[in-house]
């Protein structure tokens, strides 16, 4: 049975990501990233990975054609992982679907990443891009604090 976890001995994917996140937050005091920034990062990386040129408007349409569900599922996953949005709020931001669609999408993205080796690399790139954006926001916030003193 496919559980949606990486094959890392002794640790599942969620535990690994939590450990990385804890180290990153303690090391850098990461700034909050907005849901739209996360969605933009996901769309950009998935477009590169799949060879599409989808926009946010394309993704939120209730179409099942040409990998659009995969884009939404990835969006659901990263919004749930890196924000404090509820299932309903995540669903509303990505096309107004039901909260159960978000639960299913998060599970499907986990299965996709654990099934395809190239998707693991994609997942790592997306996480790194989100972390980099958080660092950039934190740096900007620190500069603003210095200017305001």
Domains in the chain (CATH in brackets) are 13-148 (1.10.1750.10)
pLDDT at 13 over 80: no
Closest CA to 135 of 54, 28, 34, 10: 28
* DSSP label at residue 86: -
Instruction: Please give the Cα distance from 149 to 139 (Å, whole number).
Output: 16
Q: Mean pLDDT of all residues in the chain?
A: 81
**pLDDT tens digits, residue range 52-89?**
898 998 888 877 776 788 999 999 999 999 988 899 99
* Cα(137)–Cα(126) distance, integer angstroms: 16
Top pLDDT among 22 and 39 is at: 39
For CA atoms 95, 97, 102, 105, the dihedral sign is negative
pLDDT of residue 14: 53
Q: What is the pLDDT of residue 3?
A: 45
First to last CA, the chain: 57
Question: Dihedral (C-alpha) 100, 33, 131, 85: value to the nearest 10 degrees?
Answer: -20
What pLDDT shows up at residue 84? 87
135 in Cβ contact with 34 (< 8 Å): no
């Amino acid at each position: 049975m496919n559980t949606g976890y990486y094959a890392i001995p002794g640790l599942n994917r969620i535990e690994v990501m939590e450990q990385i996140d804890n180290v990153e937050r303690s090391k850098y005091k990461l700034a909050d990233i907005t849901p739209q920034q996360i969605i933009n990062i996901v769309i950009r990386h998935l477009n590169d990975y799949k060879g599409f040129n989808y926009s946010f408007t394309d993704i939120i349409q209730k179409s099942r054609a040409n990998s659009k569900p995969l884009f939404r599922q990835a969006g659901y996953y990263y919004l749930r992982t890196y924000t404090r949005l509820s299932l309903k709020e995540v669903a509303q931001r990505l096309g107004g679907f039901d909260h159960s669609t978000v639960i299913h999408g998060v599970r499907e993205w986990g299965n996709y990443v654990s099934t395809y080796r190239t998707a693991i690399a994609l997942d790592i790139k997306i996480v790194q891009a989100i972390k980099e954006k958080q660092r950039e926001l934190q740096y900007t916030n620190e500069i603003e604090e210095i200017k305001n003193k």
